[in-house]
């Protein structure tokens, strides 16, 4: 209410009253940044760019924490002061070299020496819209999403072209399960809008959430054709293809994203991890292992990567001691994930340490009670410690949880002849020489 009242003073031309009101807010514990930020916007909106810069630069009252939108506003203010070089330096410090359509558009104008007008807040009405948007960003993730959405709706009503409010509105709607409304909100952005790329990526997610995967893929593929030089576009395309189990195509998109990295940092571990998953699912273990290890080089404490690589090695019977160490590290980092506990138990199992496998496998089953793989593994452990009746019970449960056909066939075989016989058959098949491949074709050629 105090911020709205302060902006109302701006709207009636009472700047001295407005400044007094903003200063009172800035003097209130916990609201300092709100008061200073909006005071700077108000000054800039009436042409006092020097005063606005004094605040946002921290010279007036110390450092002012602002989010992305505040940095862009400050860059516009610096440009209005004929300080484009300082504006570019601010963007570089705040966002780094990574591609971003909105920031890139501003960078191009600044690099061309063009004076960029201050349009973050043009009027008092815009200022009040900014109040509701600022509050919504503070509420987002901290309060009921309905309250966040209420503030965003007011911001959008006061300023229909508020791109950040529209994007956050769509995101909140998506989180509330209102995927069609989210899709419609994302679709409001025109192709020439700098926020169009972000909106299309969001729209694709909303489409997939509605079961419209083909439409989602079509949107991202079109985006890759028009904006294929943007890392985020290739990353999003790779994610969708991976989730649709089109692993070969996903690997191509992830590789394109990696090739677009200006430099590889520890934050990029996830790109190599996801590409490694695609390699592994495409039966190229050597490439998968290389990507997983590269991911760990960048960030060695990621439990997902430690678990995935460790489990893969265990499942292949390779480097079991190293694999066990990886999985133990993953468990220490994320002790409540059933699938990671399952990996630990399975490592003990593959090492022949069946008694040690029992406790973590039972714990994994408690954490993932309807997972077919965990339940199947629990049956295997029970079998190997002599609890064969319980093993058969768990295998039957696993069949009820919709395992893959390959896993289901193996489970039915275990129920028929027992785990020992299945393992003996598998060992014999692995040791048998491959059958010779016929060189001739059916027609004798």
pLDDT 10s digits, 296-318? 999 999 999 999 999 999 888 89
User: Average per-residue pLDDT in the chain?
Assistant: 93
Domains of the chain: 2-209 (1.25.40), 369-425 (no CATH)
- Average pLDDT of 275-282? 97
Q: Which residues are CB-neighbours of 109 under 8 A, at least 6 positions away?
A: 79, 116
- pLDDT category at 101 given cuts 50, 70, 90 is confident
pLDDT 10s digits, 190-202? 999 989 999 999 9
Do the beta carbons of residue 271 and residue 254 sit within 8 Å? yes
Lowest-confidence range among 107-121, 170-184, 246-260, 420-434? 420-434
Which secondary structure element, helix H or strand E, spans residue 272, and what is its range?
Answer: helix 269-281
- Average pLDDT of 368-373? 96
Whether pLDDT at 45 is above 60: yes
Q: What's the full length of the chain, in residues?
A: 445
- pLDDT category at 114 given cuts 50, 70, 90 is very high
- Average pLDDT of 96-109? 83
Distance between start and end Cα atoms, the chain: 86
Do the beta carbons of residue 308 and residue 281 sit within 8 Å? no
pLDDT of residue 432: 63
SS (H, E, C) 385-410: CCCHHHHHHHHHHHHCCCCCHHHHHH
Largest CA distance in the chain: 97
Residue 105 or residue 179, greater confidence: 179
Do the beta carbons of residue 232 and residue 258 sit within 8 Å? no
- pLDDT category at 445 given cuts 50, 70, 90 is very low
Predicted structure pTM score = 0.84
**What gap in Å lies between CA 152 and CA 134, rounded to an integer?**
9
């Amino acid at each position: 209410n105090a911020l709205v009242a302060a902006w109302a003073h701006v709207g009636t031309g009472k700047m001295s009253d407005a400044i007094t009101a903003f200063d009172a807010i800035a003097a209130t514990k916990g609201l300092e940044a709100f008061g200073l930020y909006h005071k700077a916007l108000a000054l800039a909106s009436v042409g006092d760019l020097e005063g606005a810069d004094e605040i946002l630069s921290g010279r007036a009252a110390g450092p002012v924490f602002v989010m992305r939108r505040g940095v862009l506003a400050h860059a516009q203010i610096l440009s209005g002061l004929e300080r484009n070089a300082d504006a570019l330096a601010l963007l570089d410090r705040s966002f780094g070299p990574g591609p971003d359509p909105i920031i890139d558009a501003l960078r191009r104008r600044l690099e061309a020496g063009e004076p960029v007008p201050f349009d973050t807040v043009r009027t008092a009405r815009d200022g009040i819209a900014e109040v509701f948007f600022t509050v919504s960003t503070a509420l987002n993730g901290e309060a009921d999403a309905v309250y966040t959405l209420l503030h965003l709706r007011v911001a959008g009503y006061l300023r229909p072209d508020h791109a950040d409010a529209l994007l956050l509105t769509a995101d909140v709607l998506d989180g509330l399960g209102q995927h069609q409304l989210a899709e419609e909100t994302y679709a409001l952005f025109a192709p020439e809008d700098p926020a169009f790329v972000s909106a299309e990526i969001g729209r694709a997610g909303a489409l997939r959430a509605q079961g419209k995967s083909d439409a989602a893929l079509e949107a991202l593929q079109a985006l890759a054709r028009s904006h294929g030089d943007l890392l985020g576009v290739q990353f999003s395309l790779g994610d969708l293809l991976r989730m649709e189990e089109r692993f070969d195509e996903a690997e191509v998109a992830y590789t394109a994203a990696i090739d677009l990295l200006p430099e590889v940092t520890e934050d990029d571990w996830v790109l190599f991890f996801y590409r490694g998953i695609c390699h592994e699912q495409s039966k190229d273990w050597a490439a998968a292992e290389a990507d997983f290890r590269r991911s760990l080089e960048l960030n060695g404490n990621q439990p997902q990567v430690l678990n995935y690589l460790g489990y893969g090695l265990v499942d292949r019977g390779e480097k079991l001691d190293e694999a066990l160490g990886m999985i133990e590290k993953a468990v220490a980092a994320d002790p409540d994930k059933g699938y990671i506990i399952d990996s630990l138990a399975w490592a003990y199992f593959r090492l022949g340490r069946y008694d040690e496998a029992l406790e973590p496998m039972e714990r994994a089953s408690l954490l993932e009670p309807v997972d077919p793989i965990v339940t199947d593994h629990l049956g295997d452990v029970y079998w190997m410690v002599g609890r064969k009746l319980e093993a058969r019970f768990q295998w039957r449960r696993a069949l009820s949880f919709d395992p893959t056909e390959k896993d289901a066939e193996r489970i039915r075989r275990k129920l028929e002849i027992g785990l020992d016989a299945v393992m003996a058959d598998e060992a014999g098949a692995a040791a048998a020489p491959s059958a010779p491949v016929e060189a001739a074709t059916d027609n004798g050629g």
